[in-house]
A and B are shown apart, each in its own frame.
Chain A
Amino acid sequence: MPEIKVTPLGAGQDVGRSCVLVSIAGKNVMLDCGMHMGYNDDRRFPDFSYITQNGRLTDFLDCVIISHFHLDHCGALPYFSEMVGYDGPIYMTHPTKAICPILLEDYRKITVDKKGETNFFTSQMIKDCMKKVVAVHLHQTVQVDEELEIKAYYAGHVLGAAMFQIKVGCESVVYTGDYNMTPDRHLGAAWIDKCRPDLLITESTYATTIRDSKRCRERDFLKKVHETVERGGKVLIPVFALGRAQELCILLETFWERMNLKAPIYFSTGLTEKANHYYKLFITWTNQKIRKTFVQRNMFEFKHIKAFDRAFADNPGPMVVFATPGMLHAGQSLQIFRKWAGNEKNMVIMPGYCVQGTVGHKILSGQRKLEMEGRQILEVKMQVEYMSFSAHADAKGIMQLIRQAEPRNVLLVHGEAKKMEFLKQKIEQEFHVNCFMPANGETTTIFTNPSIPVDISLGLLKRETAIGLLPDAKKPKLMHGTLIMKDNSFRLVSPEQALKELGLAEHQLRFTCRVHIQDPRKEHETVLRVYNHLKGILKDYSVQHLPDGSITVESILIQATAHSEDQGTKVLLVSWTYQDEELGSYLTALLKKGLPQSAS
């Protein structure tokens, strides 16, 4: 039985270091190649030695697919391709290809320059790695080789995020990467057609959450910013450079536009500026509003948002500043925070989750006095707000995607085991499909039942559909023909043609059967009675009485002769070919029951 094997090297019952191996119909595909934020040792990258101990990875993998540019999905790529060694194709969407190297370079800098690690990939390696990348468009079917093809669908998680369908013959797998089913200010919602894959590998970050509507959160956020600005306060929004930052920028930009506000908004320079540039370019990947209005004005050409300069922080009057990094643990955002923390008119809004130990986490948990470097005590008087803007599908969204794609099996990755358990149970209960949740390194095998395409000659098809009632899409149809298996291909042809091709002579197989009937009448009268009887019963068939005294029902011949010894017994000779077996045996059974007595 054909099977699909899935082994997560990372992200199995875990978040981070996404890397899933899939073998489907003899092809091996690696989905994502991420790093883990939580570790600084070998565990930060997936264990590629699982694939092969020695020898190039290229021989074992047909292709690598990267779903989006977040480091936990692409962070290990240069290590994998340059240091471990892989020369095959790497597929990603255009925006991912554009933004991914920026993030990788940034990651490299932090690890090598700041933490002083050696034996890490170099800038040149990133460049070499990116040369192996093949960019794909949405809904474009890419032939990796003759049998393997992949296709990208919109995922809406970040710019350029995609879900991938991997297909070999009739077997297919869909890998979602991270996705979002509710649209936001700059991206649309994930969408997939009814592709009915054998397996759907989906993320399950929010497996146990059903979220409130996005609008409340947006409104709250805007209201808070607006109020503070009106009061003359300053607002600090610590963000990570990509993704949510752009959404919040758009949100504030449009709000400023709508409300005619004048207070300045600043965006800390560097990485983000470069990224914004790409957002401007990839308008087709954004949501309906941005796509429709970019002719008048590209929404990412911010009118109210300007680049930030260190000196601006001391300017009087209200302002809004987006600064990196998002958890207030270092850099510009922390500097600004220290400057502004003392004033109760000011506000800091944390738009995402903060890791324990960071300043962000401390202030969110209500700490009002912070100990900074050098034993300084910083008293926090400014208001502290938390706003969650997350771009993962919630439980309902995941279910919705499953409903849209109609997979035969579901496999959960990228989530916590306990939460997955709940979702797994729900999926099995509501869709009646198998659901799996392998841990890292654990292999799941899924048996498939692929349909096998067979070429049929047009003549035969037309002939067979002409017989019988209307063709029905949903029901299997019985067909008569000859299956020829030759040179690794299947063909269904009419028997005559098959005989001709194979150079065989046709043999006819005929069944004959004698049925004894007690009837004292003359032969032709008996024949007439049989004829009337059959005609009465077989209304849908053509029953004919031939002049030579025989009866035909379709192609079945019935002849009657008097029994040589007993004149009162008539012998009915029924003869049919092999093809008419069904009708013929029915007829004999019918005749064996005898003729109705009432017939006069």
Chain B
Amino acid sequence: QQQHEDLSAKKLRLTKPSKSAALHVDLCKATSPADALQYLLQFARKPVEVESVEGVVRILLEHYYKENDASVRLKIASLLGLLSKTAGFSPDCIVDDAINTLQNEKSHQVLAQLLDTLLVIGTKLTENPSVRMRLVEVACKHLTDSSHGVRNKCLQLIGCLGPVEKGVVKEVESQAAKDVQKIIGDHFNDQDPRVRTAAIKAMLQLHERGLKLQQAIYSQACKLLADDYEQVRSAAVQLIWVLSQLYPESIVPIPSSNEEIRLVDDAFGKICHMVSDGSWVVRVQAAKLLGSMQQVSSHFLEQTLDKKLMSDLRRKRTAHERAKELYSSGEFSSGRKWGDDAPKEEIDTGAVNLIESGACGAFVHGLEDEMYEVRIAAVEALCMLAQSSPSFAEKCLDFLVDMFNDEIEEVRLQSIHTMRKISNNITLREDQLDTVLAVLEDSSRDIREALHELLCCTNVSTKEGIHLALVELLKNLTKYPTDRESIWKCLKFLGSRHPTLVLPLVPELLSTHPFFDTPEPDMDDPAYIAVLVLIFNAAKSCPTMPALFSDHTFRHYAYLRDSLSHLVPPLRLPGRKLVSSPVSPSITPHEDPSQQFLHQSLERVYNLQHLDPQGIQELLEFTIRDLQRLGELQSELAGMADFTATYLQCQLLLTKALQEKLWNVAAPLYLKQNALASAAAKQILEETYKMEFMYSGVESRQVVIIHHMRLQAKALQLIVTARTTRGVEPLFGMCEKFLQEVDSFQRCFISELPHMQGSFVDKLLDLMPRLVTSKPSEVVKILQTTLRQSTFLHLPLPEQLHRATANIIEPTGESDNPLRFTSGLVVALDVDATLEHVQDPQGTVKVQVLYPDGQAQLIHPKPADFRNPAPGRHRLITQVYLSHTAWTEPCQIEVRLLLAYNSNRSKAAAKIPKSTWSESLEALPQSENGIEGTIPFSKAVKVYIMPKPARR
């Protein structure tokens, strides 16, 4: 058996139809259904080339008709589906056969599988309406089947393929011309819950494909909300939501009364009702959808937060209302009396509606739910609704603040983030601030930092509030000294947002006294620095404040302005004009000239066609140096400057390599020089990968140029190899590969080609017919001349360009105490790093550990280890497990972050299927540090470790 397989595998590559032949032989050999099933299973493990798919399908169909065993037919049916998925294969030719198989099939399971296959075929042929119509017709015919599986698949098929445009329906007069929506709608009352679910899903599918659902479905969907099965209810909630988005303004009657309300309000009430459903899956679904119903009227919206409390039939105020009242009456929370919350007025028993009150208290329930998934969903929904309605934001504040005390950390974190997002709309009352600040003592770092972020953008109403916040933050600082940076930053924003509230606090904060000199505080005390950060930032927009400073404050200002320039703004201080005036006015208009400078220097470079090679090199070198310096000076332009500098660097290397003497010498003897040229080619390749993957904001225009540069580097590589190796054999392969690459380049970037007049690729494509037919040596010659003659492409700059950077905060690499552990066991190393401008860090960022013996370890952090504190910024907090055999003395290991890239975008089409067919992997990009497809983007941090031998 084993041998046989090997044989067929080998044959595959040589002659194509053999695949189907082998299968045919196998299937004919099969004596029992179990055997046949085995063969099919083995067959399914290997992919089939596009060309032989049809043949295989025919063989399979042939066996299908012969086969008596349902399980084998089932497998064949599923294989048909798999095969039609093959990329590049167009299944029109097998549509008829596939439909025919349905005719005599008795087994429900096989029928369902066949319909599934048809669905696959149909989705591949979406642009063929007649096939689609036929398939839908087939599906409609089988809708009466007694098995739920078959009906399920039929509905799915109708949902995916049913006609969406009205016009098509009229053209094709057949059974399927009936309204698809009606057909699906009829199955909303099917006896099987799975079919009901499928029907609703199919309806949703139609909606997604662009069909406008009829409003008549709404009442049907409402009935489904009371279904016994949770999947049905869950899907129905979605359907109701869709309809409420489609017909928000239509009017629907309220049953059992003759009033009418807007549909969106009605739907909102119904979905709110589902927030107290029995199944938590439905509750999550409902809570999530509530967030996106922004058209709902504010009257309904505000009800969701009001549970209408009562006690012994008397109306009671909520704790929130009481707190508010206490606050407005000027008295601070007493709440200490028994019966303080004693209910007041009597309620009319008839007016109390216990359950049909629709939206009433939906969020109160959602936020109190047993499952944290529901609570999170409710918080998210609150966030979305509050963002669109300021008055609602004000109202939901109390509830969000309450969530800060949830038992699950994720929920707390989520509610803090939510609060931050809506903070523009709100001002915190003092009692609310009190609760918020209480969370500063939380032992979780994430929570505290999220809270700092929140405080950065909070509006506080009174000076007591500011004072309270400061006091609490200082308390936090003493309890958790590691929060220093984050607290300072928080105070910076707090100060600059509330200058007028800080002003009256200044004397107290600086403990100045009108008559007595107070001792000068310790300059290195983080708490004192924190206070100063608050005051200086407030002073920026409050010119009267510096008058309150004492002498040492000014000195401290000068010191802090220098050492913590990112936290302390430039101030206009009396008597310090000389120092401050050149700094402050120059800060704003500075951006323009530097941008200008950047563009000018680039202009200069792009016009350098006519200079002599020496001049070009020099100019490039100067420009690169300028750009690099500019990047250091102007952080906003750093990405842009680095990007262009890298590009110019590539160009410089290319020019240099082409200037080599080596090209003038015929024989491949100059090993030293060609080492330089090939090194240049290698470096260019590496730099192009960096350019493509390390910057966020790169657009397709830039990608073309980068790829073009890469192509040039590859050409260079080819030429160098041709020069240095004897014999033609290896060149054949390389040439072919290169031509393939040119070809794929042309295919990928066909639209951009017109912009590339006179470039390397442009010329190359003109010569393509000649290249394909000529010998390798000739190809090399042509390449060499084209490479020399080609012009330098202008690199257009995108609007925004940021370089991905990473900074490892922990481990600091300063510790002299080695981390001791027993060899053979593992030790966990905490890694804490901030990442800037990394897209999709979960997929790309890796941690590399280099041991002194050269052994390297690559760790892929869990997705949950990444946090996203602000747009464009990520934080990686993870644990890296280290292990090694015993050492005699402690040694340092290196930890760094790598950015992994997948060259999918550039060459996936050609490479990836090949590698699965186990062809050579030699041509994959290689970078210097030996790890394929990764770019180091942080400084390496050294950690001292010491694996001890295990004690016996």
Contact = CB atoms under 8 A, between A and B. Distances in A.
A364 interface: yes
A185 B407 contact: yes
Nearest to B441: A259
B309 A259 contact: no
B335 interface: yes
Interface string B415-447: 000000000000000000001001001111000
B318 A365 contact: no
Interface in B170-198: 186, 189-192
Interface string A451-488: 00000000000000100001111100000000000000
A215 B309 contact: no
Contacts of A210: 307-311, 316, 354
B441 A209 contact: no
The B interface is mostly helix, strand or loop, or mixed, namely: loop
Contact of A189 (B307, B354, B370, B408): B370
Contact of B320 (A214, A216, A254, A366): A216
Interface in A256-297: 257-260, 287-289
A219 B370 contact: no
B354 A395 contact: yes
Interface stretch (B361-369, B456-464, B679-687, B688-696): B361-369
B156 interface: no
A445 B775 CA distance: 103
Contacts of A365: 338
B309 A399 contact: no
Contacts of B308: 210
B278 interface: yes
B368 A216 contact: no
A213 B407 contact: no
B319 interface: yes
Q: Which of A213, A386, A470 has the most CB of B within 10 A?
A: A213
A586 interface: no
B479 interface: yes
B82 interface: no
Contacts of B479: 260
B310 A208 contact: yes
B118 interface: no
Contacts of B371: 288
A56 interface: no
B705 to A, nearest CB: 52
B313 interface: yes
A471 B190 CA distance: 8
A299 to B, nearest CB: 10
A215 B313 contact: no
Nearest to A217: B319
B277 to A, nearest CB: 8
A470 B190 CA distance: 8
B336 A222 contact: no
Contacts of B340: 386
A289 B407 CA distance: 8
Nearest to B151: A470
Given A210-B308, A289-B407, A386 B338 contact: yes
A219 B336 contact: no
A183 B369 contact: yes
Contacts of A474: 189
B276 interface: yes
A226 B435 CA distance: 12
Nearest to A196: B228
B510 to A, nearest CB: 26
A58 interface: no
Interface stretch (A25-33, A419-427, A493-501): A419-427
Nearest to A185: B407
A372 B310 CA distance: 37
Contacts of A473: 189-192
Contact of A422 (B313, B355, B364): B313
Contact of A212 (B309, B338, B403): B309
Interface string A355-375: 000000000111000000000
A215 B307 contact: no
B367 A208 contact: no
Nearest to A194: B228
Interface string B286-319: 0000000000000000000001111111001011
Contact of B312 (A366, A404, A419, A430): A419
B407 A254 contact: yes
Interface residues of B, number: 55
A384 interface: yes
A222 B405 contact: yes
Contacts, number: 129
A580 interface: no
Given A289-B372, A473-B190, A396 B354 contact: yes
Contacts of B403: 215
A226 B438 contact: yes
A364 B338 contact: yes
B444 A215 contact: no
Interface in A398-452: 399-400, 403-404, 419, 422, 425-426, 430
Interface string A177-200: 000001101001101111000000
Given A215-B403, A386-B338, A472-B189, A403 B320 contact: no
B356 interface: yes
Contacts of B144: 470
Interface string B185-215: 0100111100000000000000000000000
B368 A218 contact: no
Contacts of A289: 372, 407-408
A383 interface: yes
Nearest to B347: A208
Contact of B318 (A192, A212, A288, A430): A212
A194 B228 CA distance: 7
A182 B296 CA distance: 27
Contacts of A217: 319
A220 interface: yes
Contacts of A303: none
Contacts of B918: none
B405 A213 contact: no
B338 A426 contact: no
A192 B399 CA distance: 28
Contacts of B370: 183, 188-189, 287-288
B721 to A, nearest CB: 58
B335 to A, nearest CB: 7
A251 B278 CA distance: 26
A223 interface: yes
Contacts of A213: 307, 318, 364, 367-368, 399, 402
A563 interface: no
Given A254-B407, A259-B441, A384-B338, A193 B402 contact: no
B607 to A, nearest CB: 64
A524 interface: no
Given A194-B228, A212-B309, A288-B372, A257 B354 contact: no
A300 B189 CA distance: 48
B32 interface: no
Interface of A: 182-183, 185, 188-189, 191-194, 208-220, 222-223, 226, 254, 257-260, 287-289, 350, 364-366, 383-386, 395-396, 399-400, 403-404, 419, 422, 425-426, 430, 465, 470-474
- Which 3 residue pairs spanning A and B have beta carbons closest together? A473-B191, A216-B319, A183-B370
15 contacts: A189-B369, A208-B313, A210-B310, A213-B368, A213-B399, A215-B367, A219-B405, A220-B335, A259-B443, A395-B310, A399-B355, A425-B349, A470-B144, A470-B190, A473-B191
Given A188-B370, A350-B338, 18 more contacts: A183-B368, A208-B312, A209-B312, A212-B307, A212-B316, A212-B318, A223-B438, A258-B441, A258-B444, A288-B371, A364-B338, A396-B354, A404-B278, A422-B313, A430-B355, A472-B191, A473-B189, A473-B192
Interface of B: 144, 146, 186, 189-192, 228, 276, 278, 307-313, 316, 318-320, 335-340, 349, 352-356, 361, 364, 367-372, 399, 402-403, 405-408, 435, 438, 441-444, 479
